[in-house]
A and B are shown apart, each in its own frame.
Chain A
Amino acid sequence: MAEATTPILEMKNAGKIYAQGGRRIEALRDANLRVKKGEFICLIGASGCGKSTLLRMAAGFESATSGEALMWGVPIASPGPSRGMVFQDYGLFPWLSVRDNIGFGPKSRGRTKAEIRETSDRFIELVGLQNFADVYPHQLSGGMKQRVAIARVLANDAEVVLMDEPFGALDAMTRERLQDELVDIWSRTGLTVLFVTHAIEEAIFLADRVVVMSPGPGRIDNEYVIDLTRPRDIASNAFNEWRRLLSSKLHSHHARKAG
């Protein structure tokens, strides 16, 4: 079905070839993806499938060697506040308190002290870290650090949040909790989320649409619209059906690769 309006993010035949010591490595080939405003997209696939490359192109950290990456139809030339990134290793500034980490973006954009304070306090509250506002990152647990990282991009008015396996380093309990919170924030703010993961369950739980990718060279295989109602029950039959389907899709890559 053709979409008349301009997508917030679009990949048009996007490809990336790295030259590494005389060898050419094709990280991504002919990726096409249209993301509508407010959509929650999960990119899933085995390592080397180009999902992180695609995400980093959307962020502006890397440029496409062929095709293009667009935001609102304009080529993405460099990183910018409209596309906030949440890294698996947090990327917090260790010398800044929780409050100042969250206020980093607004400060960079020349907001007044009072505005910065008001904004950071609002987002500290959104992620429930009121009691930790003046604490430094090394004093926080992994889950709390990732909350700060999320609050930091939201406080900077990001329209698109790009997440690179953000919960991959967390324990199962914290991970589930943060997934719930993320869905909650997303549904209340109308954000657009592009979320890279290698966990099938996580993708089905979070996404409106799951994009399955495969390696050698990295490319987009298929897209699945997850039509489950929210909040989603991971123990339901319908959820299991999706799990089985995506699991077989992902495993077929391995089989093909091995064979």
Chain B
Amino acid sequence: MSTIASDSDSSTPKASTEPVRRNLGEGALPRLQPVLFAIAFPLALLTIWHFATVNRPASLIPPPYDVWQELKDLAVGGVNDDAYSRTLHVHLLASIGRVYGGFALALAVALPLGLLIGRVPLIRQLIDPTIQILRPVPVTAWLPLAMIIFGLGPRSAFFLVFLGAFYPILVNTIFGVRSVEPRLFEAASMLGCTGAAQFFRVVLPAALPSIFTGMRLGLGFAWVVIVVGEMTGVQTGLGAIIMEARQLSRTEIVISGMIVIGIFGFLSDQLVMLIGKRLLKWSPAHG
């Protein structure tokens, strides 16, 4: 007997081990069902919205069709042909740039800081209390101060988005680092992996699911605060046109902006999820 092959154990009930994905044999209807269900609710809302607003000239809220026309005009023009026509890409790119820029900066600061706070007691004692006190301060409360420090314009917006993404990443990174199973450090050290090497070969991978959750929340918050961030007097951006259109009572533009933020926030979350699925395929909770 050269190998100790183990047939009986290999076929124990837990042998759902082969990555089996069988969706064959299922018809199209069961697969379409969730899509239909997901569409039904917004469709109902649209209908209510339509009948509540149509044929009411005094209404400040335009009916869905007007919003659709405005959205088209913002994107490709040809409806109103005013100052807003064909400007959507400019505002969208400006916002995406700030969202991802602020998010990237938040990640670059929060990740190493979180790892240090989680692992080094001295740094934890030094920094953690301050962060715990600053954390409940809402991003909107930072607005005036940001405008004083960074001035009117894109830098303040960038800072506020950064702030929105920073705390979720930091808090989840700290949590991930602190909840690494002690057993894994023992396993690593008896296998000859000690000191700083443990940081990269144990702490970081073990904390990755948490870090990832933080990144997902952080990116979500970045989209949430973009409107606030762009209230600081920037010329372009989805938040900027929403605020501007509000002053002009162009509610259809306000709603168009909201829809675009919703869609792109959703898409960007899906993208992060996709990356996470690949990166965390080892984790039963993610893969």
A contact residues vs B (CB 8 Å cutoff): 59-61, 78-81, 83-85, 87, 89, 91-97, 104-105, 108-109, 125-128, 130-132, 135-144, 147, 152-153, 156, 173-174, 177, 181, 184-185
Contacts and interface: CB of A to CB of B under 8 A. Distances in A.
A92 B191 CA distance: 11
Interface of B: 1, 3-6, 8-10, 12-17, 19, 183-184, 186-194, 197, 201-202, 205-206, 208, 281-284, 287
A87 B14 contact: no
A142 B4 CA distance: 17
B191 A127 contact: no
Nearest to B206: A95
B284 A104 contact: no
Given A91-B183, A95-B208, A143 B12 contact: yes
Given A93-B184, A128-B5, A181-B4, A104 B193 contact: yes
B9 A143 contact: yes
21 contacts: A78-B189, A80-B192, A84-B191, A85-B190, A87-B187, A91-B187, A93-B187, A93-B188, A93-B206, A96-B205, A104-B201, A105-B193, A108-B201, A109-B192, A132-B10, A141-B14, A141-B17, A143-B9, A173-B9, A174-B9, A181-B6
B189 A138 contact: no
Given A104-B193, A128-B4, A156-B191, A61 B9 contact: no
A125 B12 contact: no
A139 B17 contact: yes
Q: Which of B10, B197, B202 has the most CB of A within 10 A?
A: B10
Contacts of B3: 125-126, 128
A97 to B, nearest CB: 8
A189 B15 CA distance: 29
Contacts of A143: 6, 9, 12
Given A93-B187, A128-B3, A140-B14, A173 B282 contact: no
Given A108-B201, A177-B9, 16 more contacts: A80-B190, A87-B183, A93-B206, A95-B283, A104-B191, A104-B193, A125-B3, A127-B6, A128-B3, A128-B5, A136-B282, A141-B9, A141-B14, A143-B6, A147-B6, A153-B191
B193 A108 contact: yes
B9 A79 contact: no
B192 A108 contact: yes
Contacts of B13: 141
Contact of A108 (B184, B186, B197): B197
